[in-house]
Every structure is written in structure tokens, then in C-alpha cells.
A and B are shown apart, each in its own frame.
Chain A
Amino acid sequence: MKKSILLSWTAAAALAVGLAGPADAEIKIGSTLAVTGGASFLGDPEARTLKMLVDEVNAAGGVNGEKLELVQYDDGGDPNKARTFATRLVEDDEVVAVIGGSTTGATMAMIPVFEEAKIPFISLAGAVVIIDPVKKWVFKTPHTDRMACGKIFEDIRKRGLSKVGLISGSGGFGKSMRQQCLDVAGSAGVEIVADETYGPDDADMTPQLTKIKNAAGVQAILNADFGQGPAIVTRNVRQLGIALPLYQSHGVASKSFIELAGEAAEGVRLPASALLVADKLPDSDPQKAVVVGYKAAYEKATGEPVSTFGGHAYDAFQMLVAAMKKAGSSEPAAVRDAIEQTRGFMGTAGVVNMSATDHLGLDLTAFRMLEIRKGDWTLVE
């Protein structure tokens, strides 16, 4: 009895073996992203971008004479998995820096690991809590949801409107952006006259939109979410014949939103980086070279249209490489200091000026207001 239990245990335990040690490399960069799962439309282009860039850098001889190795995991957007992979990156893979965390939940779960291990960490998630308050080893590249709210409200005020009906997804992104929009509405001179939500898998939002339509004095609708929700909301707005201006967030900044929402997307506005309108930028625009270059490289390497999400990974990677070059080493503490000293870096999201008190380094000017016309992005002047 006892013997056979022991034997079967050994057999079962044998399955667990194979957590084999990784091969040696020069400079190891870690990454854990939501390559699958509900946030995969963020994590997938991010992962592809990193792979592409590492190959590119290695083909050009690496950094400081050393080749890069990318250790990449798929956390599916699950914070608990992300936490485990963070530990694995630090303890087992012994990486010198980490890019990733596609979602805010996964990012927040990983922060204690990197703070304790003293490894620089550049997050690709949206919420402002990641860098406010500032954490010594944590940076991020995407605009915050707070900035998106500010940009949208600015545009609404420019149109002479002020009463906004808010409809947000109940996932992390929508919930966080909803809170930020409620917070900044007052100072932006905007009044939120309706506040509705829907679940991440919902297929019809006409009840919520009917309520917004009937809200007293509503002049514009703002939808804070990413994924399938915004496409359905946009279609539902058209179905109900609501003629108010519709604003989406930076979370829908990929071509697939236009495809999914179809004709209903006409006239929808959203704040996004210049990446989506790379070809339409005037040649005098200082950002043009960067965004056109990345767009062309990404679309050639993957055969898929570029999205701003991959751009976040591009910015993070380029900043990291620049920091390593500047520090002349890949030693984590030196790299961290160099990232914090990033000044005038031109990325897909805009010009980055980091400091000890600002681990994002972007301002509102980097955000462009886009409008969808004839199935394509156009710049709102």
C-alpha cells in the first residue's frame, strides 16, 4: 500500500520535472503579456512588436556589443499568473529588465516583485495608479486614462458642448477610466448627466443607451472601454438613431474597431497617438519618421494592421535600449537611473521626458484627436 502510493507519487511528480533551466545569453530582457485571453488584442501586438525589435537589434549587433535575449510569457491577463511569471523572470531567468503587464491588474500584481528584486519594469497598461504615486523601479509608456478623459472633454468643450452621457465597460479598463473621467469632469467644465455600465461579454447595450438618450440635456456620449463592447455600443447608438456626437477611448485605437462597427463608426471621435494617422501627418511633424518607420516595419513583419498597443511596446523597448546604451551597461540599477533620465525621447505616443517625479513623461499634446471618416482615421484640426 505505502510502496505503491510512493511509486504513483513519483510517477506524478515526474510530470512536474522539466521546469528546465534556460539557456545562457548575454542580456536577458523579460516580458509577460496578455498574449491570450480577453486582453489579447493588447498583448498580442505587444508581444509581436518585442520579438520583431529584438531580432532587429540583434541583427544590428546588439546593445553595447552584447546580444539581447527575450524571455516572454503569456499571463492571459490574469494577475495571479502574472505574479508567478514575474517571480520566474526575476529568480529563474535572471532578467535585467522587464517590459509588460498588458493590463493594470497584472501590472499592479507584479510591482512588489520588481520593487523587491530591484529590476526596472516598464508597464504597458493604462491606469494612472501604476505611476501615481511614483514607484522607484516602475515606469509606463501608454497615456493614462486620466489624460484620455482630459483630451476628450477638451474637444467636447471646443464644440461648445458640456453635458455628457457616460457609458463604460465594467472591466478594469472601463472602470478605471470611468472613475478618472468623473474626477476630472468638474475641472474640465463638463457635467456627467448619465452614468451607465455594461459587462465585458454583453451583446446589446440598447437599454443603457436608451436611458442616456432620455437623460435631460445630454449633448454627447462617451464610451470608456476596449474590446468588443465599444463596437457594439457604436452599432447600438446607430440602431437607436441617436444623433449625438460619440466619443470612444484610446482603448479602441486599432483598425479592427472600424471594421467591427462598420458604417456606425462614421463620425466617432477618439484620442489616440499619431501612429494611426502616420501617413497623413505633415512631413514637418517631428513624430512622422518614428511612427511611419514602426508602422511599416510592424505591418511587414506581421502582415497585420498596426495598433497603438504594439506602439506602447515599441516605446518601452526603445527607451530601455537607449537607457542601456546611455548607461553603458545592462546592470539593473544603472539602467533604471538612465530610464529615469530619458529626455526628449520621440516615441509612438509622443515626446517623453521622464523625471524622478514623473515615470510616464508624456503630456496631453502627444494625444491627437481623431475622427473616423469614410472608414479611416483622420486628424481633427
Chain B
Amino acid sequence: MSELLQFTFSGLTVGAVYALVALGFTIIYNASGVVNFAQGEFVMLGGMITVFAHAAGAPLPAAAALAVVATAAIGILLNKLAIERARGASVVTLIIITIGASIFLRGAAQLGFDKQLHRFPSFSGDDPIAIAGATILPQSLWMLFGAAVVFAALYLFFTRSLTGKAVLATANNKLAAQLVGIDTDFVMALSFGLSAAIGALAGVLATPITLTSYDAGTALALKGFAAAMLGGMGNPFGALVGGLLVGLIEATTAGYLSSDYKDAAAFVVILAVLFAMPQGLFGKSAQERV
């Protein structure tokens, strides 16, 4: 029993990381249909900027805030200097641009920071909380809390706010959105800024547990992407559930079956779900327009 509980805590810890990364994908995807391959680099930047600002003497909350703001600015710049310039290009072309951006940001981080692994202190210390024979770190609760808050904010943004609806309208039909007076350039800039900020927040929350380095983004993006697809791309609820689910599958597979194939188990489940539900668990089905 305490074993299962420990596996669950582990799954929730790792799942919260995946969920936070997956949530970052949703806005850019919703606005443009592009899966942003540089999302993992936003997470890395969130962690690395916090590490270096903290090491330079900034208190942790200030360093974290700086990291989120700076990464959001980098996201907006990426949109302004690259995505916006490629106006009218196909989705595949835009995706390759984000791959280029991810290589670029990784190279820049390697130069601007260093190649070492880093970590900064957990927000509420490292003393584990014991529940029924299993333990969880306070930082894991911070991550779960963060994921829940980001989810709620995104949910309200897309369903209640006019701007959120403008984002969805832009994705749906850019020309029509422009015709009804939506500033689609602004919507795109906003999406990149918000996605980058969410990514950076993920990095800030996760680094005390996952550690970070200039090349930490690739692996995080892969798992976050997988989690987002499992839940249904573009749906914040799907991202949250998908992330936690992937984490739980990995932890229980490692605990009960084989730690060698725990990543495989996650992908097998994803494949099985997609075969049964081609839009993911909570994705909306799209019909091809003729």
C-alpha cells in the first residue's frame, strides 16, 4: 500500500513537470496550429536565468520573476523576428523555424551561461512530507499547485476573455479574424509571450527537482509534447491530465514492471489511446475543409 502511494507521489511529481511543459504548448498551438519545438528551451531559460540571477545575488522570488519576464520577452522577440517575417508560410515551415530557434537558444545558453548542471534551493526546503509510509517533497506540491493555477488561468482565458476568444478565432480562420477587427499580429505576439512565460514558470518550479542545464530543454519538450498529444493538443485540461497521466504510467511501470521500459510504456499507452481516439483524450475533432 505504501508502495503504491510512493509510486503515485513519484508519478505526480514527474507528471506535474510534464503537465507544466504541455500547458506551455497550448497557446501557440491554439493561435497558429504550430507545435513550438523551442518550448523546451523556454523551460530551460526559466531555470537557467533564475539560477544565474540568484547566484548574482538576487533573492529567489525576484530571480524567478526576472526569469519569467525575460523569457516572455524572448518569446515575443522570436515571434517578431522570425515567425512574423515568415508570414504566409506553411505550418511545416513554421515548425522548422521553431526547431532552428531551439538550436539557436541552446547555443546561446551554452555561451551566455555555461555547460554545467544547476539547481537552486527548493521554495519550502527539502524535508519530505510523510503520508502513510510514503514521502513527497514540498517542491512537488508547489509544482502541482503551479500546474493547477496555470490550467485554471488558461481555461478562463480561452472561455471567458475576449482576447482568449480572439486567439482561438485567429487559429480557426486568420482572414476572418482580421475581417472582424482582430489584430492578429498582436494575438500572435501575445501567444508567444504567454507560452514562453508559462514555459519559464515550469522551469522555475521544476528546477529544484529536475536540475537544469543548457540542453535540458529537448527531453522536457519531447515528454511535454507527448503529454499534450495524449490529452488532446490545444486543450488545457488535456495538457494537465495528459501530463499527470504520463507521469503516473512511468512511475507505476518502473515500480511494478520494468524500469528499463517505463518510457516505452508511456508511448505504448499514447499509441493505444490515439488508435482509439485519434484526437487524444480531450481533443476536438477537426474536419478537413474541402
A interface residues with partner B (beta carbon < 8 Å)? 35-38, 40-41, 44, 170, 196-204, 206-208, 210-211, 214, 227-228, 231-232, 235, 238-241, 256, 259-260, 262-264
Contacts and interface: CB of A to CB of B under 8 A. Distances in A.
Interface residues of B, number: 36
Given A204-B13, A207-B6, A263-B126, A231 B211 contact: yes
Given A199-B262, A263-B126, 8 more contacts: A170-B260, A201-B219, A203-B209, A203-B210, A204-B10, A232-B211, A239-B135, A260-B119
B9 A41 contact: no
Interface stretch (B27-35, B72-80, B109-117, B179-187): B109-117
B251 A241 contact: no
A260 B115 contact: no
A318 B202 CA distance: 46
B84 interface: no
B211 A210 contact: no
A161 B213 CA distance: 37
Contacts of B216: 201
Nearest 7 A/B pairs, CB to CB: A201-B219, A207-B255, A203-B210, A207-B254, A206-B10, A40-B115, A239-B128
B233 to A, nearest CB: 22
Nearest to B18: A203
Interface string B240-270: 0000000000011011000110110000000
A25 B17 CA distance: 51
A238 B263 CA distance: 25
A201 B250 CA distance: 13
A206 B8 CA distance: 10
A38 to B, nearest CB: 7
19 contacts: A36-B115, A41-B115, A197-B260, A198-B254, A199-B262, A201-B220, A204-B251, A207-B10, A207-B252, A207-B259, A210-B7, A228-B213, A232-B210, A239-B135, A240-B6, A240-B128, A260-B117, A260-B118, A260-B119
A256 B116 contact: yes
Given A206-B6, A206-B10, A241 B211 contact: no
B117 A227 contact: yes
B66 interface: no
Contacts of A196: 254, 259
B215 A38 contact: yes
B115 A203 contact: no
B56 to A, nearest CB: 16
A265 to B, nearest CB: 12
Contacts of B252: 207
A197 B126 contact: no
A235 B206 contact: no
Contacts of B45: none
B137 interface: yes
A41 to B, nearest CB: 7
B211 A228 contact: yes
A256 B6 CA distance: 28
Contacts of B213: 228
Given A203-B17, A206-B6, A211 B137 contact: no
| Majority secondary structure of chain B interface residues (helix, strand, loop or mixed) | helix
A203 B6 contact: no
Contacts of A35: 115
B94 interface: no
Contacts of A260: 117-119, 211
Contact of B135 (A198, A200, A240): A240
A259 B144 CA distance: 26
B146 to A, nearest CB: 15
Given A203-B14, A203-B209, A227-B117, A208 B126 contact: no
A214 B3 contact: yes
Nearest to A235: B126
B169 to A, nearest CB: 37
B215 A36 contact: yes
B220 to A, nearest CB: 8
Nearest to B210: A203
A232 B126 CA distance: 12
B184 to A, nearest CB: 33
Nearest to A35: B115
- The CB with the most chain B CB atoms within 10 A, among A200, A206, A227, A259, is that of A206
A199 B263 contact: yes
A36 B255 contact: no
A44 B111 CA distance: 13
Nearest to A40: B115
Nearest to A227: B117
Contacts of A200: 219
Contacts of B115: 35-36, 40-41, 44
Nearest to B128: A239
B13 A203 contact: yes
A208 to B, nearest CB: 5
Interface in B105-163: 110, 115-119, 126, 128, 135, 137
Contacts of B260: 170, 197
Contacts of B206: 203
Contacts of B128: 239-241
A37 B128 CA distance: 32
